[in-house]
Structure 1
């Protein structure tokens, strides 16, 4: 596991993950819960670096039933999801926390917002540098080279933001 940047702390049986444990992915996403025969099995939660969480019942590594809660506390609903979609979060953070005082911008849900390195853009799991086409974690670790599709999406978004 150390070769791919993941780690595991917890019970084992016959050399495989078994019982209760904590598995950390190379992206710093963590699974905390029950494992059986090396797979997520039973009750467990995925904790994402951005603060979101997915609690589920797992069977042989697959989520059978679960619920997603965004970092800002909004819970995703499978049915009748008319509150929020990819285009409209309807000022959820402002509804929960109130408006910022005049003169304080709110360009992100974080307060204070992250410092974005010059020439880079916040892309959700880290910072994207359009010159090197590399995504770096917020802690400064290499995450990935942006592929052609991802780079094209970034370029189009940044053109919209800069215009």
Structure 2
């Protein structure tokens, strides 16, 4: 059965999803797992377009416990999270594969880092153009417009493209 913008696989009771199902959201995030009364209920996994995933136990659409795994395999822990904290600033790839030799910096967890379009910033889930105030994902698809608070945060904290024709240096 097809639903506009989404894919359902499973059985329906009173036009609601029941049992094991696959549900694809308009954002291309995919849920695979148990459903009851049209809600995530039981064991299920959200697969994100970035390659990350969220394995969880759901009750009436709400998470009761879960584990987030980034695309590179790093697992998020909601308690005792020590990744990239004040005691250990290494990226996950540096923890797994070791540090670079002295004088060679690793600017992001992705090595080499993504090439940022000229005049834009890498804000973690895509590139931000401060002139248009538009954030597009890494595949150049529209994500959102930045409000004033996000605009200021990106300018203050995110990595900006280095323009080689000027004396401007990359923001570290």
Same fold (TM over 0.5): yes
Distance 2:67 2:159 in 1: 35
Determine if contact 1:8/1:21 at 8 Å carries over to the other structure: no
2:79 aligned residue:
79
Over the aligned positions, Cα root-mean-square deviation in angstroms equals 2.9
1:27 aligned residue:
27
2:166 aligned residue:
none
**Counterpart check, 1:109 vs 2:109:** yes
Q: How does 1:13-162 map to 2 (within 5 A)?
A: 13=12, 14-81=14-81, 83-84=82-83, 89-100=89-100, 105-158=105-158, 162=171
Cα distance, 1:86–1:18 mapped onto 2, change above 3 Å: farther
Larger radius of gyration: 2
Aligned residues: 159
Distance 2:50 2:6 in 1: 19
Q: 5+ unaligned residues in a row in structure 1: which ranges?
A: none
Distance 1:73 1:154 in 2: 26
TM-score normalised according to structure 1 size: 0.78
Determine if contact 2:122/2:159 at 8 Å carries over to the other structure: no
CA offsets, 1:71-121, max 9 Å, x none? 33232334333x225665433311212345788653222244333221111
